[in-house]
Structure 1
Amino acid sequence: MKATRNFKNPLITPADVKPSREDFKVDCTFNAGITRYKDEIIMLIRVAESVISDDENIIKIPLLEKKDGKYHLVIKTFDKIKDAEKYDFSDSRTIFAKTNNGEKVVKYLTSLSHFRIARSKDGVNFEVAEKPFMFPDGSYETWGIEDPRITKIDDTYYINYTAVSEKGAATALAKTKDFISYERLGIIFEPENKDVCIFPEKINGLYFALHRPVPKAIGTPDMWTAKSFDLIHWGQHHHFSAVTDDGWENGRIGGGAVPFKTEKGWIAIYHAADKNSRYCLGALLLDLEDPNKILAKTKMPILEPEAPYEKEGFFNNVVFTCGVLYENRVVKIYYGGADTVMALAEMSIEDLYKALGI
């Protein structure tokens, strides 16, 4: 069983979002967190912007730099011809510094991501705000903020996201009650750790989360779990689910949407990529009292890159979710297509149970 794409896909494209500055262009609108707030559905979109250049040999990149005790947005300029000895410009997403031994080291990203709010009454037709809701700030966000997930606990909406800088990709946390103002709470998982999904209630007195550290010397990019008293300090880490030797999960796996509760257990929609970086979505059924216990797992993807807006874009062959709504026994998966657009696919909980083999 697979999820069914909405006939209005893609729901949001870069053309639908106003740049935050006149000299910027919107490259990608993707990987949004999702929640219901009062009578609206809130989509917190990752918006990646780059600097407009009239010369194909000149690259301008946005980033934050510290001056007079505060971080400010600056534009750095590179000449692809004059700077060719120092830098590698072959990847449109990244500028690499060349080392003496011939290796390439990531030096800069060519775009800067922030979060923009989109609102909808029906979950399909969204109105995108003209200004950013959350913009990068501080030493851990100099290269941007990415891939937000929203967990509602009581009357507070917690937003965990990837904070990117020259120090690495860490997971940070913020909170809001009204999606007008917010408070940053700081780093909760140090680099490199991404794809954090925080459960919407305490389990046996503790908060519970999925996370994905990336080993550099030994090991593979697998999913782990962790527990916390306060959402800030995390421990009791447990290796949870590993990549496979072959097939659609043999490259990396990680949390996708915030898990939701059903009569049969917690369901987590997760992502996996193969060694060719083709990203698909699967599902896990977890024990209600101990989510470390995997009760069932989809053998095949419930969503994989097939539509044109999933196969071709800023990064081809990607479906990637940061948010799901489970309402009236329908699982609504909001996902990024080809790292470029936002889309929606749905399946009934009964069909998802069948995909899980239960």
Structure 2
Amino acid sequence: MSVFPFDRIVFAPGDVDLSRSPLAGELDAETYVLGAFNPGMTRLANGNLLLMVRVAEALREPERDGQVHAVRWEAGAYVLDAWPTGAVDMSDPRKFTVAGGEWRVMALTSLSWLLPVELDAEGRRVEAVHYDRAIAPTESYQCYGIEDARISRVGGRYLMTTCSVSPERHCTTLYSSGDALDWTLEGIVLDHQNKDMLVFEGLIGGEYWAQTRPLGDLYFAYPPGSEWLAGPSINLARSPDGLHWRPHDQPGIRPRIDTDATARMGGGAPPIPTDAGWLSLWHGVEPSGIVGKYRTYWSLLDRDDPSVTLRSGERPLLEANPALTEPLRDLMYVDDVVFTTGIADGGDHWIVASGEADLACRVTHIGKEMFV
């Protein structure tokens, strides 16, 4: 049983109407919703909450006639690319790895687009689903889809970072909006693999700040006896306008040598200001199975210098809750994954939005007393 006063799945694959999908009628193949998850979240002017849900729309039968197919956007249309099954590794049904070559190369059997879902003010129920404002690929660097939105409100402007996927690059793109419903694509802001760019909800010293998480296949060792573990970490960047970003010299939140829980880590919800500092919710991954165990942790960062961590929770704030996904058991393809992507002020509690099991959207009310 959940220890939180409200902790539920509020949106799941069965809630998506694929007849209103951007891909509807475009492909000579049946599709289904592999996941409706990892929602960015913000509060609208009417007081309601908005989830920007990642919808992974997948091919029902990616393999047929000795070929495996990938979904791709090209010049305003959606197409299927066919690869000989003998030339790929299909051990993960969500994607396949192309054999040969010096680099790891993959293609996707699904394409992700973003669906705005409006909830009531407490995030307890769906009020509207805005299919007419869905965000789908429009540029070649988004041809394999748009993933994992994070939304921040800075001043009177909403900024939404997304991960755009293509053979050209695996990059971070930025959208802006005056109302969080009608969005303008501003373009690429980070030209490297970075799944978790989160803009702070407020300026620091007159500048925009963001958490980033660059990825690579080589990391240099800390000296023996260090408290830190080499690997992906949460870095920081600054910008004069929210468009042009420069990495901050000091590191942010780093994995620790004394726990397996941060063997891999990255940002979760955009940092939000509190009286005690910037509240940052982030994910730590413990090695286990194919993808690992994803849990949500928290840290308080200095208001004037967010490279300084004031304190952190030692225990996970959120863990995967199998009771929530039991009605969806037949749809599940991963376990032990909660991936927090949004936070909003609920008065005496925080309203936290997460992706549960890479499948559905979970909303949890967490008392503010848990962060002292």
**TM-score when scaled to structure 1?**
0.88
Distance 1:233-1:204 versus aligned 2 partners, 3 A rule: same
Instruction: Give the equivalent residue in structure 1 for 2:226.
Output: none
5 Å-filtered alignment, 1:195-344, equals: 195-219=196-220, 220-237=231-248, 238-276=250-288, 277-309=292-324, 313-344=332-363
Decide whether the 8 Å contact of 1:29 with 1:46 is kept in 2.
yes
What secondary structure does 2:135 align onto? coil
Alignment size in residue pairs: 341
Amino acid in structure 1 at the alignment position of 2:91 = S
Distance in 1 (CA, whole Å) between partners of 2:371 and 2:365 is 10
After the TM superposition, which of the residue ranges 309-318 and 279-288 deviates more from structure 2?
A: 309-318
Distance 1:244-1:342 versus aligned 2 partners, 3 A rule: same
Aligned-pair identity (%): 27
Distance in 2 (CA, whole Å) between partners of 1:44 and 1:165 is 21
Decide whether the 8 Å contact of 1:310 with 1:319 is kept in 2.
no
Q: Deviations over 1:269-303 (max 9, x none)?
A: 11111122110000010111111110001111011
5 Å-filtered alignment, 1:137-156, equals: 137-156=138-157
Decide whether the 8 Å contact of 1:33 with 1:149 is kept in 2.
yes
Q: How much has 1:141 moved relative to structure 2?
A: 0.8
After the TM superposition, which of the residue ranges 177-186 and 50-59 deviates more from structure 2?
A: 50-59
After the TM superposition, which of the residue ranges 319-328 and 237-246 deviates more from structure 2?
A: 237-246
Decide whether the 8 Å contact of 1:225 with 1:240 is kept in 2.
yes
Q: 1:49 and 2:49 equivalent?
A: no
Distance 1:105-1:236 versus aligned 2 partners, 3 A rule: closer
Q: How much has 1:309 moved relative to structure 2?
A: 4.6
Decide whether the 8 Å contact of 2:62 with 2:69 is kept in 1.
no
Decide whether the 8 Å contact of 2:62 with 2:70 is kept in 1.
no
Amino acid in structure 1 at the alignment position of 2:200 = F
Q: How much has 1:62 moved relative to structure 2?
A: 1.4
**TM-score when scaled to structure 2?**
0.85
Distance in 1 (CA, whole Å) between partners of 2:120 and 2:324 is 24
Amino acid in structure 2 at the alignment position of 1:30 = F
Distance 1:104-1:151 versus aligned 2 partners, 3 A rule: same
Instruction: Give the equivalent residue in structure 2 for 1:29.
Output: 36
Decide whether the 8 Å contact of 1:48 with 1:114 is kept in 2.
yes
Distance in 2 (CA, whole Å) between partners of 1:278 and 1:248 is 10
Q: Structure 1 unaligned runs (5+)?
A: 354-358
Distance in 1 (CA, whole Å) between partners of 2:5 and 2:76 is 41
Instruction: Give the equivalent residue in structure 1 for 2:228.
Output: none
Distance 1:109-1:335 versus aligned 2 partners, 3 A rule: same
Distance in 1 (CA, whole Å) between partners of 2:245 and 2:11 is 35
Q: How much has 1:319 moved relative to structure 2?
A: 0.4
Aligned Cα RMSD in Å? 2.2
Instruction: Give the equivalent residue in structure 2 for 1:356.
Output: none
Decide whether the 8 Å contact of 2:68 with 2:85 is kept in 1.
no
5 Å-filtered alignment, 1:153-164, equals: 153-164=154-165
Q: How much has 1:169 moved relative to structure 2?
A: 2.3
What secondary structure does 1:4 align onto? coil
Higher strand share: 1
Decide whether the 8 Å contact of 2:62 with 2:68 is kept in 1.
no
Q: How much has 1:349 moved relative to structure 2?
A: 1.0
Q: 1:6 and 2:6 equivalent?
A: yes
Q: How much has 1:236 moved relative to structure 2?
A: 4.1
After the TM superposition, which of the residue ranges 322-331 and 56-65 deviates more from structure 2?
A: 56-65
Distance in 1 (CA, whole Å) between partners of 2:87 and 2:5 is 45
Distance 1:28-1:233 versus aligned 2 partners, 3 A rule: same
Distance 1:180-1:327 versus aligned 2 partners, 3 A rule: closer
What secondary structure does 1:221 align onto? coil
Decide whether the 8 Å contact of 1:310 with 1:316 is kept in 2.
no
